[in-house]
């Protein structure tokens, strides 16, 4: 029996994944204030119900960066998603292709670029972090070009790595040692289905794109130490200009929350931005995308394609962000939950749920096409 909602997938993932892995996917930074705001601020947006509008023919299709999509949704980059299911990023990419939406591979994925590219008929997006090792960044960009990735998503809100208390409590992060490793092994032992399917059959458990620079071999322990040493707090707009000079296709900057930064990104010649607070995993207390989006749309909406993420748990949430001016929506945790619960079949069904919920929201707000979704469908607070 299929789960009825994305919330059901979250619960199924909690039951199937080892505790430390579920907490990594589900958690945020520090006290998780922004994580909760992302969800609550979306839920607080009321929709105007319209009737007798003739909505028998609904069209969810859209175009994102020159590619026709079945709906204006893309699977966001999720680090270590390949641990949620056997070779998880490969499964998710194929589910996204089947659904007709873009998939974005994280720099810190388990499956490397070349593995994900095998067997796909359409190009996928690649997400890149700023790193101290600029030559390695250049190599990754070159590989993404060679594999014909159709867009580069450059994440700029991680110059330093924020503390995530849940990861420390679960044993994923913190001081390395036998006690921490033993805690994780005990959690894995409580999930025998995952231990066999992913733990045994899903090897190698390395971060494929980072193997060339992770001296310990590319495992999770190596990554947790490496990321703290190699994220670059010296990142500046000149680095964005440098990436722009190397990448010939659509360039999308992820992690913008202020109109001034959006304008600076537009001045660098990027093609799009993602209004995002990293899913509440970086600056705790930051604005939600819902709060930040209107000012950014007003500032640069006519200069580039604006996407948004954070707190999306339903197709209604997708419609809410589109109504605020986003042209597309990145979905992160929902696909990770679905992948952890049921693999590629779960991701496929999750996307079907999003589309079905979007159709209901569009029909009951009087919209037959995505282009008709705008601020007029939002109810004003009284």
H helix and E strand count, the chain: 15, 10
Cα end-to-end span (Å), the chain:
42
Cα 28 to chain centroid, rounded = 14
Whose CA is closest to 287, among 45, 34, 35, 44?
Answer: 34
Residue 286 token pair: 């930051």
**Alpha-carbon dihedral 161, 245, 81, 68, rounded to 10 degrees:** 140
Helix (H, G, I), strand (E, B) or coil at 129: strand
E strand segments, 113-205: 125-129, 151-155
Q: Cβ-count burial of 99 within 10 angstroms (0-12 exposed, 13-18 middle, 19+ buried)?
A: buried
**Alpha-carbon dihedral 350, 356, 357, 358, rounded to 10 degrees:** 110
Catalytic residue among 2, 19, 278, 349: 278
Per the annotation, the verdict on 278 as an active-site residue is yes
Beta pairing, strands 251-256 & 272-275: parallel
Question: Could you tell me the CA-to-CA distances from 132 to 160, 235, 256 in Å, in that order?
Answer: 12, 9, 21
Contact 276, 34 (CB under 8 A): no
Count other C-beta atoms under 10 Å from residue 292's C-beta: 23
Count other C-beta atoms under 10 Å from residue 140's C-beta: 22
Cα–Cα dist 167/145, whole Å: 34
Cα–Cα dist 290/329, whole Å: 12
Q: Tell me the backbone φ, ψ of residue 236, rounded to 5 degrees.
A: -145, 170
- Residues designated as active site: 278
């Amino acid at each position: 029996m299929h789960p009825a909602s994305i919330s059901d997938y979250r619960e199924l993932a909690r039951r199937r994944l080892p505790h430390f892995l579920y907490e990594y996917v589900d958690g945020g930074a520090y006290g998780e204030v922004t994580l909760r705001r992302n969800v609550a601020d979306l839920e607080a947006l009321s929709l105007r119900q319209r009737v007798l509008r003739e909505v028998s023919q609904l069209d969810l299709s859209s175009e994102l960066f020159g590619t026709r999509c079945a709906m204006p949704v893309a699977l966001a980059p999720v680090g270590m998603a390949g641990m949620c299911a056997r070779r998880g990023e490969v499964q998710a990419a194929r589910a996204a292709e089947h659904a007709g939406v873009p998939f974005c591979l994280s720099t810190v994925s388990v499956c490397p670029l070349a593995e994900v590219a095998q067997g796909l008929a359409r190009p996928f997006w690649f997400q890149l972090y700023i790193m101290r090792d600029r030559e390695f960044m250049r190599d990754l960009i070159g590989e993404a070009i060679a594999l014909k990735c159709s867009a580069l998503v450059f994440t700029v809100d991680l110059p330093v790595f924020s503390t995530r208390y849940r990861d420390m409590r679960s044993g994923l992060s913190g001081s390395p040692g036998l006690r921490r490793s033993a805690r994780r092994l005990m959690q894995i032992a409580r999930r025998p289905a995952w231990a066999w399917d992913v733990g045994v059959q899903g090897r190698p458990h390395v971060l494929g794109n980072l193997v060339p620079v992770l001296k310990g071999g590319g495992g999770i322990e190596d990554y947790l130490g490496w990321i703290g040493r190699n994220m670059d707090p010296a990142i500046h707009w000149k680095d964005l200009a440098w990436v722009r000079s190397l990448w010939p296709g659509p360039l999308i900057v992820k992690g913008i929350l202020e109109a001034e930064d959006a304008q600076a990104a537009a001045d660098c010649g990027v093609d799009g931005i993602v209004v995002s607070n990293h899913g509440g995993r970086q600056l705790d207390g930051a604005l939600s995308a819902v709060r930040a989006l209107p000012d950014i749309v007003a500032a640069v909406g006519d200069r580039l394609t604006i996407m948004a993420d954070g707190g999306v748990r339903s197709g209604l949430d997708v419609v809410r962000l589109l109504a605020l001016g986003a042209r597309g929506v990145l979905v992160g945790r929902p696909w990770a939950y679905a992948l952890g619960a049921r693999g590629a079949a779960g991701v496929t069904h999750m996307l079907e749920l999003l589309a079905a919920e979007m159709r209901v929201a569009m029909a009951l707000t009087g919209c037959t096409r995505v282009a008709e979704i705008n601020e007029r469908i939002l109810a004003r607070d009284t």
